[in-house]
Structure 1
């Protein structure tokens, strides 16, 4: 992961540069990510899978690490992005999917998880052992978290030595609340204290040294902290730089470590840029891009009903809502409203639990029917512009026909563009 090490070195030398990481397994999101990287002429694009999305048991996507790698690489090739420019990462890799087991059983499964990720070519590894297992105290002591992380990184190092390729880079630490957005309404967040961030780093450094992982420690490039950004179902807590001044300065003495900020979804372009300037140089986005996907799909549903007619339309949006209600397992622990309020959350919650349902066979069939209807009967530009003005303008500017897939990809691309601009000030200066 020379590209990541070089990026961190440039940031530590005073450049306000960063990188964004897209966490999604939806094919249109991945295509949008690769197409945007191609069009923006980015040196590299970082795509990550989480331990719940992709693991040795298939995760909720049904994909193992090698399947996810092939899935991403196939899409990159399709859009003309060299696979060498695609960096693969694993997020929150640890015992999280198996916390109902004893710590030893869960860590054994986490070891297999790490081995499969590294063997498949993932080289940015977030080792996260912060969660309590069935026989653990809550919360876990920092020392226990660090020891478990070191155990997993030993496996990663041994696997990389066996399979070859670039050495791994590592991220340590975690954030609260859990990934994917808060389940309940959020009060004002407490920013991680400098003392807590440095204690996490020191605990891991000492244990890595004791476990013979000094070489790996030199490739620990990031620590996850809470800069004061988060979202729940209905609101976003925006970054407030004044509250993170001391945290921002905490890594001045750390020669090879920057902050990794999770849950940056829905932050403003100004906030994203300021986060990077304040040394949160790795920005994670997941629900933010799948929310944009849902926006575009809902817009296409509206265009189809207005252009094709309700009697011949696919009913895509209604099918999706009905399927979510018929199978509530992916949202019932998170959404507690009823009636119209529940319908609103199912569609518009910022935590975007609908993203778990796109692979559903009935929803996928309805989407295919909607795309076919709009391909066989292209709507007029005025109607497309009514519902997707930005995407329509982007496609016209590129002399591309406004097909359903291209409209979705262009709409997602607008979200990705805010991250690119925040992370690449040198490109902004060159274009000015």
Structure 2
């Protein structure tokens, strides 16, 4: 049986549903797909930016929080979704982008970042201060993490805005953003006593900082439910392994669990996560993985329609770009040259997603769409190169034009989450 949601979670995030999908991406086509689904279902859309993607220094997208909000709202205006239906969230907000600096300097920058998120009207703020900075251990004591989280919340609370005060997500057992970089045979579910202690120490730290009212708006705890993915493997959710953890929610009134790294989970596993109380499901790499699959499928179609176009195809352009600028994949992948080549393009970790905003990548995608034009793709070629989309095209629910097919590929993933987050 699906657990009843705390009132604040239901009011702010889920429209009274069992859960909510957290769309963690900065790719415009992925965001467009998420907003289109919200338009079709009439439900709100939770879009989140991470501290590395978006911050006061621009992050790897070049956007500040205010820029990101304008970017998403411009897409919403184009598709016809009322911007009031979008919930903006900030993920992993803390010193992580500056952890090579001293704790004092890193926290000062983290405070400037969260002020920017709060001032831009981001309504859901994940406080993640669990990482050590220069000269500190990799993992900090719970009390230090909670004290730093409260310091960030104090900054956010000091920002005057026209909207409702933000809700907070806490939690120190945060999976590696973008997937694990190690073997997954050692994956452990969060111990229930650890989840309870996380809430206890944060409540104490917030109280000592005079932030009792802010802590009353803490609605979620990030825990490890036993799901993860790496370059070539996925660990699906096993409810029996998380039973003790999910039982702890009975002692956490007002809280739900937030699950990260839910990408590539089978549909039944997503359903079970929501049913068990993991009401916030984050997804990111799977969405851009589906986007890349569709792009590469269309490239295959283009090569059949015009064999001479193979030489300037999209995969070759992306390979050249990633070899020229290896910083976003080199330390995450290992193996022989052939294994590295496969991972650059096809890894579940999807490090290729960092390259789509680059001018060279955008130009290559534009060339692909220019080759194909806006004519429908012949259905036999859709069956051959975009087989997962063919049943929808044949059934008439998805158009056969190139851009429709790309958005359709992302929507296939988003609909799995939408189904899991409905009332059962």
Confirm or deny a common fold (TM above 0.5). yes
Contact in 2 for aligned 1:28/1:405 (Cα 8 Å):
no
Structure 1 SS opposite 2:250: coil
Q: Residues 282, 352 of structure 1: CA spacing in aligned structure 2 closer, same or farther, 3 A cutoff?
A: same
Q: Which position in structure 2 is the counterpart of 1:358?
A: 356
Q: Which position in structure 2 is the counterpart of 1:369?
A: 367
1:119 offset after TM fit, Å? 0.6
Which segments of 5 or more consecutive residues in structure 2 lack a partner in the other structure? none
Take 1:176 and 1:21, find their aligned partners in 2: how far apart are those partners? 15
Take 1:90 and 1:212, find their aligned partners in 2: how far apart are those partners? 23
Take 2:377 and 2:311, find their aligned partners in 1: how far apart are those partners? 13
Q: Which position in structure 1 is the counterpart of 2:278?
A: 280
Structure 1 SS opposite 2:92: strand
Q: Which position in structure 2 is the counterpart of 1:102?
A: 102
Q: Aligned-residue CA RMSD in angstroms?
A: 1.9
Structure 1 SS opposite 2:307: coil
More divergent stretch after superposition (183-192 vs 280-289): 183-192
Q: Residues 398, 149 of structure 1: CA spacing in aligned structure 2 closer, same or farther, 3 A cutoff?
A: farther
Structure 2 SS opposite 1:37: helix
Take 2:113 and 2:190, find their aligned partners in 1: how far apart are those partners? 29
Q: Which position in structure 2 is the counterpart of 1:125?
A: 125
Q: Which position in structure 2 is the counterpart of 1:22?
A: 23
Contact in 2 for aligned 1:191/1:226 (Cα 8 Å):
yes
1:243 offset after TM fit, Å? 0.7
Q: Which position in structure 2 is the counterpart of 1:180?
A: 178
1:403 offset after TM fit, Å? 2.2
Contact in 2 for aligned 1:188/1:237 (Cα 8 Å):
no
Structure 2 SS opposite 1:122: coil
Take 1:118 and 1:395, find their aligned partners in 2: how far apart are those partners? 42
Contact in 2 for aligned 1:9/1:256 (Cα 8 Å):
no
Q: Which position in structure 1 is the counterpart of 2:241?
A: 243
Take 1:100 and 1:358, find their aligned partners in 2: how far apart are those partners? 27
1:127 offset after TM fit, Å? 0.6
Contact in 2 for aligned 1:7/1:18 (Cα 8 Å):
no
- Residues 391-413 of structure 1 show CA distances to partners (whole Å, capped at 9, x for unaligned) of 35435656664222211100110
Q: Which position in structure 2 is the counterpart of 1:430?
A: none
Take 1:359 and 1:297, find their aligned partners in 2: how far apart are those partners? 14
Structure 2 SS opposite 1:92: strand
Q: Structure 2 matches for 1:161-172, cutoff 5 A?
A: 162-172=160-170
Take 1:397 and 1:38, find their aligned partners in 2: how far apart are those partners? 22
Contact in 1 for aligned 2:377/2:401 (Cα 8 Å):
no
Take 2:353 and 2:309, find their aligned partners in 1: how far apart are those partners? 27
Take 1:74 and 1:228, find their aligned partners in 2: how far apart are those partners? 37
- Residues 54-110 of structure 1 show CA distances to partners (whole Å, capped at 9, x for unaligned) of 001110111110110011111111111111111000000000000011001000000
Contact in 1 for aligned 2:48/2:90 (Cα 8 Å):
yes
Contact in 1 for aligned 2:173/2:190 (Cα 8 Å):
no
Take 1:196 and 1:220, find their aligned partners in 2: how far apart are those partners? 17
Which residue of the other structure, out of 371, 380, 400, is the alignment partner of 2:378?
A: 380
TM-score for the superposition, normalised by structure 1: 0.92
More divergent stretch after superposition (281-290 vs 136-145): 136-145
1:222 maps onto 2:224 in alignment: no
Take 2:31 and 2:309, find their aligned partners in 1: how far apart are those partners? 33
TM-score for the superposition, normalised by structure 2: 0.94
Q: Residues 395, 350 of structure 1: CA spacing in aligned structure 2 closer, same or farther, 3 A cutoff?
A: same
Q: Which position in structure 2 is the counterpart of 1:81?
A: 81
Take 2:80 and 2:6, find their aligned partners in 1: how far apart are those partners? 26
